[in-house]
Structure formats: structure tokens, C-alpha cells
Amino acid sequence: MVTILEDYPHIKQTFNLVPSLVDQLNQYAKGDVKDYYLEMSAKPAHELTALDKTFLLSRFCPEGWQRIGPYKRYKELILKKEALGSKSYPEMIQEFSEEEYRDLQVWFNLAWFDSLLLEKDNFLKECVEKGRHFTEMDKIGVIEKQRALVEEVVPAYRRFQEEGTIEITTSPFYHPIMPLLCDSEVALEALPDVNLPSFPFRYPEDARKQVEMGLECYRQNFGRSPRGMWPPEQAVSEEAVRIMMESGVEWIISDEEVLANSLGTKFVRDRQGNLQNPEDLYRAYQLQRGDRELKIIFRDHFLSDLIGFVYGSKPGRQAAEELHGRLKAIKASLGDRAERHLVTIALDGENCWEHYDRDGYEFLT
């Protein structure tokens, strides 16, 4: 996704990379780890056992997956499996040939590549055009191409940050829910009627360690300390915020519902989703604790969810124009104060892009 910005050098964006994900990417890049899906992809088709074949048909044939549509051979294999739905797996696996299993192994991995890579990379483009009758060497080539691409991910983000195009933020290392890690009883502040364990869970020292590990991972991979941090699930509390402040974090992000609870109010929207009190959400807040300060921005939950869960079902250009219209409406609602305000759109990257045509390329560009 970040490489799209090469064509838009004047657009600045922020990306959050969870440290445990960065760590996993580095391990996969070095070839230090494997997972069962990768093992089943790499296993020669003539060596597949009945259990292996059952796994391939049950896990490599997703229903209604956006990525299947453009690829005729992949769709054929999935439709064949669906047509055999009345059979048990021991019966079903007998209906597929060695070649079909190999094609399924290749296509499951090939379809995960970004559409731009499938169009630009000569080897991947040849595989897409070939479509079927793949060899074991073809399959090895696709898997190695995956590893090589993973190897480029972290360096690419580092390069874009060093060029000033993006800012990379981080999170506590293993993505813990910080307020609950500090004190499970804090949940009662937002949910007074929630059922909690009989014995409170209080390990603020673990929360601090998670933050420190996240910061150290960032320094090792990006050559500097981060300025911003994304609290997991955007959950915050006084103690969690204090730990981040004391660790040198300059700014964090949270959600509009957290801000509403903090202000003792509600954000009211009209039928089109426009806020009645936009000036309260579309701004940065500064938290002062002793001689330390921390800036907090709060995302527009409605706009973020449109990208995360709605726009993927629309043509990319249409969705982009709708979002642009909403942003212009927000600017108009703020009047001559608009230049002093900030609309924050923030969402988890794994939720949406696979549901967009071409991984959201038309929408993003």
C-alpha cells in the first residue's frame, strides 16, 4: 500500500506497524519460520496424503472471496469442490487429480499477491497468464517470490519515512489491551454493569514492558524513536496514558466514543452521518500531567467504518468521490475555522482491502 505514494509525493500519511507483526515479517523474510499453510503449499502434490488433501480443499477454497473472481482456473477448482458438497471429504478428495491439487496450491498463494504486482512482475504475470498445468518449479517460484516480497516490506516503510512521505507509529509489542493489563477494574468506568473476574488483574509493570519492547523494536527497524503510538483497539485509561507519556511517546490516537465519554457528552449525527458538533471531534487535544504532555487525536468512527466495511462493495471511483464529498461537507460545517481542525480517519488495515477490487487501488488513487 505504501508504494502507491510514489505517484503522490505531496500526500503525507501515517501508518501504524504493530511490533509483533514487524518481528514476524523479519522472521519470514529470513526463512526462520514456517506455518502449516506454507508447508501445505510447498509440499509436492504427489506426496500429499489424504489428510493433506482434505486440508487443501477445506482451507484453500474460500467461498465468496473477492480475489477469486478474476482467476478462471481458481474459480473452476472452487466450483468443482462446491459441486461435490454432498460428498464426504474422504470421497471428495478422490475426485481431484494431482495436477488439480498443484494448481490449487499455486492459486491460493498467487491470489494473495497485490494486483499491481501480478501486473508488473514478469514471473507472476506469466503464472497468471498460464493459469493451469503448473509445475512444482512454478510453485516454488511463487513461494520464493512471497518470501522476497516480505523481505522488502519493512525496508520500504523505513525508506518512505526517511524521505518524509510518511510517519510510522508503533504499538505495545504484543498488542495488549493496555487499560485492562494495568487494572481490569478500569472497565467499570466505561461499562458499569460489565461482569468482571472475581479477582482483579493488575499488572501495570507488564503494560510498561510491552510499551518499552514496542519502542525498542521500532528503533531497531527504523533507526529512530517513534513519535506516535496506536494503543491497541484504541483503548486508553489514565494509567495507560501515563505509561506512554513516561516512555517518551508524543502523541496517540483513540476513538470518538472514548472522547465522548471523556467529555461526558454524545456525538450526534444526522441521517447522512454529519456531526452536529464537529468542532469537538475534529481537533487535537493536549493532556498535561506534571511536566509531561501528550497530544491525542480521536478518529471519526463513522468515516473510518465506511472505508473498513462499506466502500469495498462499491466501485472504487464512486466510493472515493463519496468520501471526498463528505470531507468537503465537514469543511463547510466548520466555516472559517476549518484550517484549525483535523479530520482523523484511522482503521485496521487487515479488515478491508482484500474486499476491494484490485486491493483498493482505484479507491486510493
Residue 227 in 3-state DSSP? coil
Write the pLDDT tens digit of every residue in 8-55.
989 999 999 999 999 999 999 998 898 999 999 999 999 999 999 999
118 with 217, same domain: the answer is no
Size (the chain), residues: 365
The domain boundary, picked from 109, 138, 162, lies at 162
What is the number of structural domains in the chain? Answer: 2
Indicate if 301 and 354 belong to the same structural domain.
yes
DSSP state of 306: I
* Domain CATH code at residue 187: 3.20.110.10
What average pLDDT does the structure give for the chain?
95
Bridge partners of 295, per DSSP, are 251, 286
- Asked if residue 208 has pLDDT above 70, the reply is yes
pLDDT surpassing 90 at residue 68:
no
Q: Is the pTM of this model over 0.85?
A: yes
Residue 360 neighbours by CB distance under 10 Å: 23
Of 125, 147, 162, the last residue of a domain is 162
pLDDT at 209: 99
What tens digit of pLDDT does each residue of 315-349 get?
999 999 999 999 999 999 999 888 899 999 999 98
What are the grid coordinates assigned to 240, written together?
495507560
Give the Cα separation of 325 and 332 in Å (integer).
11
The helix (run of H) or strand (run of E) holding residue 284 is strand 284-289
Q: Which of 106, 130, 162 is the last residue of a domain?
A: 162
Q: Which residues contact 336 (CB under 8 A, 6 or more apart)?
A: none
Mark whether 82 and 189 lie in a shared domain: no
Look up the domain containing 222 and give its range: 169-364
Distance CA 162, CA 222 (A): 9
